[in-house]
Amino acid sequence: MVRILIIDDDLDILETVGSLLEDRGFEIFSSDTVEKGLEAIPRLSPQLILLDVLFPEDSHLGFKTAGIIKKEYPGLPVFLFSAVNREYAFSLGGERMEADEFLVKPVKIDRLVNLIHQHVK
């Protein structure tokens, strides 16, 4: 079973995306803050991380966090997802995006599942 950590400050997203992925056989863990999410990585050993881009405390926090994760865990796939489109996200600092995928919310679950299978063998 593939273990996925979702990091998002929107509790509805955590619940909805988490439930949809659980229904498709994934083991889901969630965190509503970046701090708790980063602390959970070594304990949970996720095989993939879904990470929001925009957080209330910093509109660049998702990009910064993806960079931290990729530096500390180079083989761990990170998917950024956001309610803003890719062009707007890149104008916020995403030109240095260190993520494996960028998805726009609402995420199409079938596409997400296909991408997960592509990145997690």
The identity of residue 78, as a single letter, is: V
Structure confidence by residue, pLDDT tens digits, 55-71: 988 888 998 999 999 99
Q: Is the pTM of this model over 0.75?
A: yes
Show the domain range for 43. 3-119
Check which CATH number belongs to the domain holding 79 and give it.
3.40.50.2300
What average pLDDT score do residues 69-79 get?
A: 96
Contact 47, 120 (CB under 8 A): yes
Contact 81, 51 (CB under 8 A): yes
Q: What is the mean pLDDT of the chain?
A: 90
Structure confidence by residue, pLDDT tens digits, 80-100: 998 765 555 555 554 456 789
Count of structural domains, the chain: 1
